[in-house]
Amino acid sequence: MSPFFRRCSGRVTPEQAHRLVADGQAVLLDVRETQEWNAGHAPGALHLPLTRLMAGAPLPAAARGKRVVAICRSGNRSRTTADLLSAAGLEATDVTGGMAAWAWQGLPVTGVNGSGGVIA
C-alpha cells in the first residue's frame, strides 16, 4: 500500500494529490456541493457531494475499486469523507487545505464550461 494511503485516512498535500491522480494511482473525488463544483474544480475530478454520500449515494463508477483522494473547499468535508470511506474498508485520504490550497499552489482549476474556474 502506498505510504499516502492508510485505512486510517492519512492526509496529502495538494501537490501529492495532483501527482497521485496524474500517475493513475488514485481518483480525485470532489465532495463540495454542486454550485461550488460548478464555480471551479480540478480537471478530471469526479463529483459527489458529501451530503449525497452521507444519504447513501454510491461512489461514481469511475471511483469504485480505486484509491480515493477526497477534496472539498478547505479540508473539513473531505476529511469526513476519507474517514467514512476508510471505515467502509476503502483506501481513502483527503487533501489538506482543500481546493483553496490546491488553487493557491497554482494547480489547475476549471469551470463547468471548461474555462478558468474559481473556488467558491
87 Cβ partners below 8 Å, 6+ apart? none
53-74 pLDDT, tens digit each: 999 999 999 999 999 999 999 9
Q: Is 72 a catalytic residue?
A: yes
Q: Across residues 37-54, what is the average pLDDT?
A: 97
pLDDT at 4: 46
Q: Across residues 100-119, what is the average pLDDT?
A: 91
Active-site choice (42, 53, 72, 90): 72
Q: Please report the domains of the chain, with CATH numbers, ordered by start residue.
A: 11-104 (3.40.250.10)
Q: Across residues 89-102, what is the average pLDDT?
A: 97
Which residue from 38, 65, 34 is spatially nearest to 48, judged by alpha carbons?
A: 34
12 Cβ partners below 8 Å, 6+ apart? 4, 20, 69, 93, 94, 95, 96
For the whole model, what pTM was predicted? 0.91
